[in-house]
Structure 1
Amino acid sequence: MLSEFRAFIARGNVMDLAVGVIIGAAFGAIVKSLTDEIIMPLVGAVFGDIDFSDRYIVLSGMVVDGAPLEAARQGGANVLGIGAFVSVVINFLILSFIIFLMVRYVNRLTARLSKQEEAAAEPAGPTEIELLTEIRDALKK
């Protein structure tokens, strides 16, 4: 069983997937920081100095006006964390757009490389059949 596990791990696809997951997690942290530390404060400033991370709607329970989201939850109130949801949606949109750009770039690069390979694979001069045809025609004359 251990040798099967080693063979499984040694396959290239598994290693590529592992690297992709690790890089994706690190990139997700960067995008989360970008959203939480740069984009959301700018959005809050545009909408009148609002901190979106603490925006919520009280569904049931008592909440002191202006209490942060965590304090409302710890006080037993049932709340919808709208601000946190907006942050996550913005994170998703940024990540998906960047992934789209990366896939688009890779597809263009792959197409360009395949065109170059096709051009290199085409013979530079006449093919064998063309040469034999020319020789035959010359002999006929």
Structure 2
Amino acid sequence: MRLTNYTDFSLRVLIYLASKRADEISNITEIAEAYNISRNHLTKVIHELGKMGVIITIRGRGGGIRLALPPEEINVGAIVRKTEDDFKLVPCFGDSPNPCVISPVCGLKHALGRALTAYLAVLDEYTIADLVSDPLGYRMLLGIDKN
């Protein structure tokens, strides 16, 4: 299973925000610079995370973004499910006609289905707080405390 850049960036934004103190506000530019990724890519990600209710976007002067929930309440598996648009590991997982001739007897679909279920179950065991168990280390590596 490979996550899309969209999901990767979503998780990185949440990790970045969880690394900051609860009263600190961030902006897209600082996150993009910390990870060396496109500001344009992050704009869409941040908009969607706001729609999901996991971050708050504050407009205007002095605005920015921060977590809407404590990191302990943001489940990694739930974020992956909401940000990934395709869990069809092979064509027979889809709704369209299956071109595979062995589909009627193939056990691969069942095995891959179980693997996907297990993969998501493991992610469900983690929160953003679990991923950021050393916020000071993240702050240092992400350049959050430059001054």
State the TM-score bracket (shorter-chain normalisation). Answer: under 0.3
- TM-score where L is the length of structure 1: 0.25
Higher relative contact order (CA 8 A, sep 6+): 2
Greater gyration radius: 1
- TM-score where L is the length of structure 2: 0.25
